[in-house]
Chain A
Amino acid sequence: MPQQLTTPDHASNSDIVFHIRGLTKRYQMGEVQVDALRGIDLDLYRGEFTVLLGASGSGKSTLLNILGGLDTPTLGNVGYGNHDLTHASEAELTEYRRHHVGFVFQFYNLIPSLTALENIAVVTEIAKSPMKPREALELVGLGNRVDHFPAQLSGGEQQRVAIARAIAKQPQVLLCDEPTGALDSKTGIVVLEALQRVNRELGTTTAVITHNAGIAQMADRVIHLTDGLISQAYTNESPISPDQLSW
């Protein structure tokens, strides 16, 4: 009964942000086929903070990329509100990414020729109601690194710039691929607090991939992926605040 497992009983249908059915992603690599996702059914709700767990290669990034409109499924359907992401045109996907989604990439993907501040400005300049880029940097504790180029930042600092960049446009959906992977517990907590604040204050639907099972304690819902399928999903009745996390 995966259907039942993935639907928390407190939510109503009108609150569904992502509506995922039979999502399959198959990569063709020469002779070899890789099934990254093998028929996922999942609904994500407005304002929900979801944590995605799973072994390396289980398909977490693939799922998140499809939710963010960065990739297209091989089979199945993904709905966002009343929009059908599976059949969206290139232009619709662009609009979707531009105005609805904030993304933190697993590999940060900062633009090397722009400073930390400018890396955020490049996104806020095309957003509808963004924060000030500097504010976003301060939120992740990088107020003193505004003029540094990516190459002059540590890995963790780059990751924080990537997070600031994602939250700066105050999106409706925030998708983070291992946002704290390179961070120590103290900075990690700062970052998670920032994410939670955006989630709480703006009602941003948030999905976070992590290898740190502890983080699951701050989630509204936790989903486990195994080999491209949801193996376990549960609702966390009493999410705790990041500073109480056991790292």
Chain B
Amino acid sequence: MKAMDKKLWREFQGMRMQALAIAMVIGSGVAIFIMSLSALDSLYETRERYYRNHHFSHIFASLKRAPLALVTHIEAIPGIDKIETRVVSYVTLDIGGFDEPVSAHLLSLPSHGAGLLNQLYLRQGRLAEPGRDNEIVVNEKFAQAHGLRSGDQLAATINGRRKTLTIVGLALSPEYIYQIAPGALFPDYKRYGVLWMSRKPLASAYNMDGGFNMVTVTLRKDSNQQDVIDHLDNILEPYGGIGAIAREDQLSHRFLAAELEQLKTMATVFPVIFFAVAAFLLNVVISRLINLQREQIAVLKAFGYSSIEVAIHYSKLVLMIVSVGVLGGIGAGVWMGKGLSNLYTEFFSFPFMIFVLKPQVIIAATVMSVGVAIFGTLYSVHRAVKLPPAQGMRPEQPVLYHRTLVERLRLQRWFSQPTRMIMRHIERRPIKSLLTVIGISLASAIIMMSGFQKGAIDYMIDVQYGISQKEDMIAIYTEPTSARALYSLRSIPGVEYVEGFRIVPVKLRFEHRSYRTTINGIPPQSKLMRLLDTELNVVEVPPQGLVLTEYLAERLKVKPGEMIEVEILEGKRSVIQVPLIGTAKQYLGSNAYMRLSALNRALKEGNATSGARLKVDKQSQQQIYAALKEIPRIAGVVEQRSSIRMFYDTMAKNILFFTGITTLLGAVIAFGVVYNSMRIALSERSRELASLRVLGFRNSEITYILLGEFALLTLMAIPLGWLLGYGLSAYMAFQIDTDLYRVPLILNQDVYAFSALVVIMSAIISSLMIWRNLIQLDMVAVLKTRE
């Protein structure tokens, strides 16, 4: 081995701990980056593969009833690949041990085998035997929520007739990855299920023998989706078709896509910030490390080593350190990426998980880490070789003496000599001190950024379901019903207050922008559904016109006073013009609101409601459920608050995993930075401190001089870290703006406290580690050799 390489290797070993700490900093950045992006890629790929293997349809069309013979007409539409018809109904269920009304979609199974499209993935048991009217296959999530297994029974009211059904299998379906009831914002696995039954008995029950009320198709590659939809609508129109929808608008797909989109922002914005911080810190640490080598660089130059040779030499050292970090980071990132993908696979009930690790992701992480490190190295080497070697080799100049502020103010007699040394040292090297402070505060800032989500989600739910929506439950009708039906609800004992509402699916259009959502009609001075502004003040819905969620107004780029085109997506599918009157702040969903009476007038429907919000006496909840089940028009009951709680409890597992890991790695980075800064400070000052020891200073005094300075810098870093952490969190919150939800910038005190705690703990642990070196300072050696 060449002498230069030996030097490298020995110096690398000599700074093992420090190298490890640096490697940990960049490794953490790499790990988060790879974990997030690989999990994201895996989810997208898994969904694609699932859709493809199970032939998820491209177009879905519902209608009243059409004869099977119509299929030949549909087949004639150019661009269609496969067609499947089916019978679908909306039923209510009665499940032993669960009082509340449960609604479900009941779908017909294909006549033979798995069918052509939207094939089920059987988790357990078998499919229902053709012709059997008492066998059903149940969606797995629903079964799990109720603890149901093959062989268990449940009762369903099918077209008014109560029937006992036996579960023969549990299944997953690409159509119900996101199992969400129509009109709901969140999946509620307890109150909404999906069931499959043999086609023949189901068709008979609804008078659909030889007919169908839903058709789904897949498209050929070269086809034009909109053309096919238009064709299909034409054919189905006479049969009560309500308009075919593309996959993009299919409920489960749409929510899944939004959720993945959401995840994508998280999984790109967050790791990029995280990584950038790690890279910046790497740069700072490496630069200071190379600065320590100033003298050696001068010596090598004096021997005739060229600047490039010197740069290569130090780049090798840095590469060794960074490789350890990058390799470790990739390993950890892949491992955690698999863990996170698995959690989401379960969360979204994918039948399988395909782990995708794109080479680009690894290459990007590696190139960025190495690039940053080499850049830091070259920059510092460049600065070192710029000096003539004669200057570089001279023992460092005693720094010009300034009286510190404290001394100018004549306060020095209040401070001991060592304390004055600390203050002078900080004042003399303001840039170095500042960099240390910034480094530590950035590390604590990313810890805050990791921690802010949880509190934000809690706040979001509290606002939406504590202040804005105040009902205990929502009863939903099978179809729009006269407001007079509210009386029967009011008369149920235990019901304290009832408020009808109307929900209409619409497409809003402004200029060339459009958005599919629902208009919610709410009564004036509603007590149970109140719109809020940012300060949580109630926004009254005006007698005329629309109120949009702020986010939606921004998305459509429409301002109050302007006319919005509203296409009603049910009934007569009319198109009307409605002015935008105002906006409301909402963290969940992107809806439009109108006065109930105004909406009904616009729909020319009279006094119709889609359902009612109920405020009830908690004691009589059971009786109320029982009573609701007896009312035939009631399709089901939604309990948003509990469904959201449930959703987030499952979600919490994923969030906890993510924030857990990022917080941990944030702490690792904080430690790495603190330890390195201290280590470097020790190297920079070991001669000075050893000299002080020689002059008779005690160990405790030089410990105080070095660590005291550090304690001071750490304390300065904490508030700055809070500030930066707030900034980064604000940026994140700003980025996570999707139509599903907007994250409010809420940072609880514990987030602040935790980030400070991590920094302080890192400083204490580092101090203990450094202290061992400090008391072992070899006075003789330090004075003999010049490093």
> Which A residues fall within an 8 A CB radius of B?
30, 61-62, 65-66, 68, 70-72, 90-91, 94-99, 101, 103, 105, 107-114, 118-119, 121-123, 125-126, 150-151, 155, 158
Contact, CB under 8 Å: B393 / A94: no
> Which of B166-174, B229-237, B779-787 forms contacts with chain A?
B779-787
Whether, in the assembled complex, B517 has its beta carbon less than 8 Å from a beta carbon of chain A, the answer is no
Q: Could you tell me if B3 and A125 are in contact, using CB atoms closer than 8 angstroms?
A: yes
A122 partner, pick from B303, B395, B781, beta carbons under 8 A: B303
Docked-complex contact B400 and A111, CB < 8 angstroms: no
What are 11 sample pairs from A and B whose C-beta atoms fall under 8 A apart?
Answer: A65-B389, A70-B388, A71-B388, A72-B388, A94-B304, A96-B304, A97-B301, A97-B304, A122-B303, A123-B303, A158-B784
- Report if B526 contacts A (CB, 8 A): no
Report the minimal beta-carbon distance from A106 to chain B, rounded to whole angstroms: 9
Q: Which residues of B contact A105 (CB under 8 A)?
A: 299, 302, 393
Complex Cα distance A61/B389, Å? 13
Pair A97/B302 contact, Cβ less than 8 Å = yes
CB <8 Å contact, B299 and A111: yes
Closest CB in chain B relative to A156 CB, distance in Å: 11
Residue of A nearest to B393 (CB): A109
Known: A97-B302, A107-B786, A151-B785. A118 touches B391 (CB 8 A): no
> Smallest Cβ distance from B179 to chain A, in angstroms?
64
> How far, in Å, is A159 (CB) from chain B's closest CB?
12
Whether the Cβ atoms of A97 and B303 lie closer than 8 Å is: yes
A164, B307: Cα distance in complex, Å: 24
Residues of B within 8 A of A122 (CB): 3-4, 7, 300, 303
CA A158 – CA B787 in complex, angstroms? 13
Let me know if B4 and A125 touch, CB within 8 A.
yes
Q: Which of A98, A109, A112, A119 contacts B304 (CB 8 A)?
A: A98
Give Cα distance in the complex from A109 to B299, angstroms: 7
User: Are A113's CB and B299's CB within 8 A?
Assistant: no
Q: Identify the 3 closest CB pairs spanning chains A and B, nearest first.
A: A98-B304, A71-B390, A65-B390
Is A68 in contact with B302, judged by CB distance below 8 angstroms? yes
Tell me, rounded to whole Å, the shortest Cβ–Cβ distance linking A91 to chain B: 7
User: Measured between alpha carbons, how far is A123 from B2 in the docked complex, in Å?
Assistant: 11
User: Does B305 reach chain A (CB closer than 8 Å)?
Assistant: yes
B4 x A94 contact (CB < 8 A): no
Question: How far is it, in angstroms, between the C-alpha of A66 and the C-alpha of B390 when the chains are bound?
Answer: 8
Give complex CA distance A97, B2 in Å.
Answer: 20
A118 engages B7 (CB within 8 Å): yes
Q: A94-B307, A113-B7, A126-B305 are in contact. Are A107 and B395 (CB under 8 A)?
A: yes
In the complex, residue of chain B having the shortest beta-carbon distance to the beta carbon of A100: B304
Interface residues on B, range: 20 to 34
Task: Name, among A97, A108, A121, the residue most crowded by chain B CB atoms within 10 Å (CB to CB).
Answer: A97
Are B295 and A114 touching (Cβ within 8 A)?
no
Closest Cβ neighbor of A61 among chain B residues: B390
Find chain A residues with CB under 8 A from B307 CB. Answer: 90, 94
- Contact (A70, B306) CB under 8 Å given A105-B393, A113-B7: no
B296: interface (CB < 8 Å): yes
Which of these, A65, A98, A113, A155, contacts B303 with CB under 8 Å? Answer: A98
Alpha-carbon gap, A91 to B298, bound state (A):
15
Contact A71 to B389, CB < 8 A, known contacts A107-B395, A110-B785, A118-B6? yes
Please give me the residue from chain B that is nearest to A152 by CB atom. B781
Q: For the complex, is B147 an interface residue (Cβ under 8 Å from A)?
A: no
Q: Find chain A residues with CB under 8 A from B393 CB.
A: 70, 105, 107, 109
Whether A155 pairs with B302 at a CB distance below 8 angstroms is no
Enumerate chain B residues within 8 angstroms of A65, measured Cβ to Cβ.
388-390
CB neighbours (8 Å) of B6 from chain A are: 114, 118
- Checking A71, A96, A110, A121 against B391 with a beta-carbon cut-off of 8 angstroms, the contacting residue is A71
The reply to whether A91 and B306 contact each other, CB–CB distance below 8 Å, is yes
In angstroms, Cα B3 to Cα A110, docked, is 13
A97 and B388 alpha carbons, distance in the complex (Å): 12
Q: Which residues of A lie under 8 Å from residue B490 when comparing CB positions?
A: none
Which residue in chain B gives the minimum CB-CB distance to A107?
A: B786
Q: Which residues of A contact B785 (CB under 8 A)?
A: 110, 112, 150-151, 158
Whole-angstrom distance between the alpha carbons of A114 and B395 in the complex? 20
In the complex, A125 Cα to B784 Cα: how many Å? 27
B11 touching A113 by the CB < 8 A rule? yes
B304 in contact with A101 (CB, 8 Å): yes
Judged by a CB distance under 8 angstroms, whether B10 is at the interface is yes
Q: How far is the CB of A81 from chain B (nearest CB, A)?
A: 17
Does B14 have its Cβ within 8 Å of any Cβ on chain A?
yes
Residues of A within 8 Å of B3, CB to CB, are: 114, 118-119, 121-122, 125
Give the residues in chain A near B300, CB-CB below 8 Å.
Answer: 122
Interface contact A99-B304, CB-CB below 8 Å: yes
Closest A residue to B299 by beta carbon equals A109
Which residue, B295, B296, B304, B784, has most C-beta atoms of chain A within 10 A?
Answer: B304
The 0/1 profile, CB within 8 Å of A marked 1, for residues 746-787 of chain B is 000000000000000000000000000000001001001111
A66: chain B residues within 8 A (beta carbon) = 390
* CA–CA, A152 and B62, complex, Å: 89
Q: Which residues of B contact A114 (CB under 8 A)?
A: 3, 6-7, 10
State which residues 1-59 of B face A: CB under 8 Å.
Answer: 2-4, 6-7, 10-11, 14
Complex Cα–Cα for A150 and B389 (A): 21
Q: Which residue of chain A lies nearest to B303 when distances are taken between CB atoms in the complex?
A: A123
Return the chain A residue nearest B10 by Cβ.
A113
Partner of A98, one of B295, B305, B389, B781: B305
Min C-beta distance of B301 to chain A, whole Å = 7
Residues from chain B with Cβ under 8 Å of A111 in the complex: 7, 296, 299
List of B residues within 8 angstroms of A119 by Cβ: 3
Min distance, Cβ B387 to any Cβ of chain A, angstroms:
10
Q: Which B residues between 378 and 403 are near A, CB-CB below 8 angstroms?
A: 388-391, 393, 395, 400
Check if B7 sits within 8 Å of A155, measured CB to CB.
no
Contact residue among A62, A94, A107, A150 (Cβ-Cβ distance under 8 Å from B306): A94
Chain A hits for B389, CB < 8 A: 65, 70-71
CA distance A173 to B787 in the complex (A): 26
Q: How many angstroms from the CA of A105 to the CA of B391 in the assembled complex?
A: 12
- In the bound assembly, the distance between CA atoms of A8 and B7 in angstroms comes to 45
Of all chain B residues, the one with the shortest Cβ separation from A154 is B784
CB distance from A118 to the nearest CB of B (A): 4
Q: Which residue of B lies closest to A121 (CB)?
A: B3
A68 to B298, CA, bound (A): 13
Given contacts A114-B3, A114-B7, contact A109 B391 (CB under 8 A): no
A117, closest chain B residue (CB): B3
- Give chain A nearest CB distance to B691 CB in angstroms: 16
* Nearest A-chain residue to B307, judged by Cβ: A90
- Cα(A66)–Cα(B305), bound, Å: 17
Q: Are B400 and A30 in contact (CB under 8 A)?
A: yes
